[in-house]
Amino acid sequence: MGEEQWCSIHSDDVFNLLNSHPDGLSPEEAEIRLARDGYNEVSSKQEHGFFYRFFKQFASPLIYLLLAAAAITFILELYVDAIVILLVVLANAIIGFIQEGKAQHALESLSKLLVPEARVLRSGMSKVLPSRELVVGDVVLLEAGDRVPADVRIFYAKNLRADESILTGESVPVEKSTDSITTGCVSFGDQKNVSFAGTLVNQGQGRGIVVATGNRTQIGRISEFIRESKEMSTPLLRKMDHMSYVLSAVIVAIAALTFAVGLFRGYGAVEIFMASVSLAVAAIPEGLPAVITISMAIGVNRMAAKNTIIRTVPAVETLGSATVICTDKTGTLTKNQMTVTRIYAASRWYELTGTGYVPEGDFLQDGVSIDPMADKALMNTLKAGVLCNDASFKGVDDIDGDPTEGALLISGLKAGKFYLPRKDIVPFEPEERFMATLHENEDGSKSIYVKGSPEKVLDMCISQFDGQRAGPVDAEGILGASEQMASDTLRVLGMAYKDVPADVESIEAEDIKELVFLGLQGMMDPPREGVTEAIEKCKTAGIRVIMITGDHLRTAYSIATKVGIETEGALSGKDVGNMSDEHLGQRLDSVSVFARTSPEDKLRLVRLLKDMGEVVAVTGDGINDAPALKTADIGISMGITGTEVAKEASDMVLADDNFSSIVSAIEEGRDVYGKIQKILLWTLPTNGGQALSIVAAVLLGLTLPLVPLQILWLNTVTAIGLGVPITMEPKERGILKRPPRPPREPVLTQLIRRRVVFVSLLIVAGAYLTFFLKMERGGDIDAARTVALNTIVFFQIFYLFNSKSLHDYVLRDILSNKAMLLGIAIVLILQLVITYEPAINYIFSTAPILAVDWLIIMLVSSTVFFLIEFEKYLYKNGYLSQD
């Protein structure tokens, strides 16, 4: 039976169905069930071995071409080039291998949540067993500080409360009861009579019968979702793979065509083979994977400075392409620190400023700051909240105890210090709905302070403090104020007190009557600072924010509207479960708040959004979030409150748990993608120009303007000296004012493809022009090739400046990248060496050239800069279409 059904069955019937007893199973029966059902463990079996996962990283067309290029350069005895290419391939394989291992780590972390030992009853005797030996039907004993070892149906509870935030995201501990739930199927967050494996008992005592173990628990089901979630490729990697297939096919086809045409034209087989090899080596952008990796690595470092820790390098770019962020509420949009924001006392309203567990803030009445200690009604309400309280203030943002009591403690500390020695306590009981403490006053008299649900406290009051004395109870006004706070999604507690004789040393529940009502305190988990502004930036950037939380529907909707999430209403997990994918997809167009959701609901929503073509980022901190984190295009876990399971399943971790940090990271991600486009924009035409120069020579029966060794020199020197500095280009202005690129937009846009063709042809034309001019002026073949070689290098340098921006003019920022200027200087020095150093001349078949040759080279190669900037002018003014 599913856990949704156990909560609706009376505990006596649960024992009957499971053939168990409140005194537990017999040891013999437990052994039989253990043999039948297996151990209470979450499976973390690895599907593929180490070597399989490592060598799978080489399955890419571009990698195949790079390996072929390495083999050819090795045969040509160009060992340094072969080693460089192999190192690039190896680095990319290692990155992919590390990324693929994250799912296995997530499963292993999840299995660690099952505690090593559990206290159970066997034949009426209490004993401690390894939790892995628990079986269905066992009776488990629970008390404060225990982590629940399996899913259990509670049949005895005394002040039992559990922290289930790792499953539900709800920040307030859940009060557990034994009553059956008769309202039909409910989400596990509303199953007050069931405790789930991995959750923490933080108060009281209880007993429960085990109804699910191992993979059948909620944790186990989540582990199944993680295993079933396929390892998703990022949008960029998918596009790069597609580009690799196309590029590989084109290079092989052109090389084969060149070889065939060369043979037909009478070239020697060895000569034309070497020309074809030169063409392939020239066309393969062997530096491209390395430069892209460097660009992402720089993005990783920049994001780390903004509290964003990247676990998988491609996540840097993916976040920049996000069109939807599915965020949880507690701890991400909110502080996960309950805060009193409103007080009602003596028929007057008060507002409190300040958020979280920081005892700083003002008390406002009608918008005007007041001294709380000068207002007796307010002071006594605060005093009751501090004294009738088990929480303690450890320091700024650090409370030891229940979050609700922490909020009351901080609200009192904002006014001053209240301390009276405690003599006795009536602890909070869910059935009674109040707590009371007995204190000794400074004059030796005694007072009882009470807090609890407004209705319960009001029932025990016979008068109301009006600021001066006790008067008649305004029940209608108090209940109306309570309802008003509740409608604003505040958690409301009532405060009361009673003076008792000095000889009273203890109190019982029946003594708590004939009280004086003091006031109401309303609290909430407030939005984080900067979240509203961050969501507004998302809107400007064209990114939709969707809240998916395990918290209550009304609370979720209220917080969403406060922080600016645009939504047409809200849907519960039950609503989601009752909809078909088609209907839910339609509602997803307008609804951006989903509450009381299960892991299945969140996973389903993420999959639907991806099917709709969105690039989805998902935030989460609990184990319930792990499947969605792993399935999303990018999973974002919380560094402070996040479980290890969530972190291992994610691609990046927020060090400060703040949604605002995601927006900063998106800006960095968009910058990384922009740099990758610039890398492609510069790399492909320059490689294409080199390759086309060989194709043109073969097709037209011309002398090769470059020999293979010169092409390898070009690829090595310019890829490092000119390609790498692009990764250090300063961020362009207004990145977050642009809409996200269409998810299906190819990495090589129409504009980039046009420019690749245009610049490639321009480089070929320029190289042949200077080559033949040198030949006509009496230069030998080596000198002419040296001129052509330097022409191509200067084309690449001038075009590098164009590539600083795809759309904008670059003259204003032409000197902004110091690394680029340094790289150009190094390349120029190396070109002087290859041109004028005799030993290098001999190796690379180059020769010294004249000053006039340099002038011609500069004049011809600089044309690319002016033509591309003019092209940008035509695009900007609508004379050319970018489509």
Active-site residues: which are they?
A: 328
The CB density around residue 812, as the number of other CB atoms within 10 Å, is 8
C-alpha span between 631 and 620 (Å, rounded): 12
What distance in Å separates the CA atoms of residue 109 and residue 852, rounded to the nearest whole number?
A: 69
Cα 735 from chain centroid (whole Å): 20
Q: How far apart are CA 190 and CA 175, in angstroms?
A: 10
Tokens matching residue 576? 């989601």
Is residue 612 within 8 A of residue 595, CB to CB? The reply is no
Question: Which pairs count as long-range contacts for 12-20, CB under 8 Å and 24+ apart, including other chains?
Answer: 14/153, 14/155, 14/209, 14/211, 15/155, 15/209, 18/136, 18/137, 18/209, 18/211, 19/137, 20/137, 20/138, 20/139, 20/209
Counts for the chain of helices (H) and strands (E), in that order: 32, 28
Residue where the block lists tokens 């690799």: 244
User: End-to-end CA distance of the chain, in Å?
Assistant: 57
How many Å is the Cα radius of gyration of the chain?
35
> What three-state secondary structure class fits 257?
helix
What is the C-alpha separation between 113 and 369, in angstroms, rounded?
Answer: 48
The answer to whether the CB of 774 falls within 8 A of the CB of 761 is: no
- Tell the burial category of 425 from Cβ atoms under 10 Å away from its Cβ (0-12, 13-18, 19+): middle
324 neighbors 544 (Cβ within 8 angstroms): yes
Is residue 195 within 8 Å of 154, Cβ to Cβ?
yes
Task: For residue 829, give the H/E element and its range.
Answer: helix 818-836
C-alpha 728/C-alpha 260 separation (Å) is: 42
CB count in 10 Å sphere of residue 232: 18
- Cα atoms in the 13 Å half-sphere on the side-chain side of 763: 29
Identify the three-state secondary structure at position 248: helix
Residues facing 395 on adjacent strands: 398
- Buried-state track 289-299, b at ≥16 Cβ within 10 A, e below 16: bbbbbbbbbbb
Residue 250 tokens read as: 């084109």
Strands in 43-171 per DSSP E: 117-122, 125-130, 139-143, 151-163
Distances (CA, A) of 827 to 677, 766, 801: 23, 19, 15
CA dist., res. 603 & res. 586, Å (int): 17
- Say which residues have a Cβ less than 8 Å from residue 820's Cβ, sequence separation at least 6: 722, 725, 726, 728, 729, 800, 804
Give the whole-angstrom CA distance, residue 166 versus residue 186: 18
Residues 70 and 84: their CA atoms lie apart, in Å, by: 8
- For 832, the enclosing helix (H) or strand (E) is helix 818-836
| CB-CB neighbours of 152 under 10 Å | 28
Closest CA relative to residue 791, chosen from 777, 773, 776: 773
d(CA 89, CA 91): 6
Q: How many whole angstroms separate alpha carbon 731 and alpha carbon 719? A: 21
User: CB count, 10 Å around CB of 417?
Assistant: 8
Structure tokens at 344: 């009602």
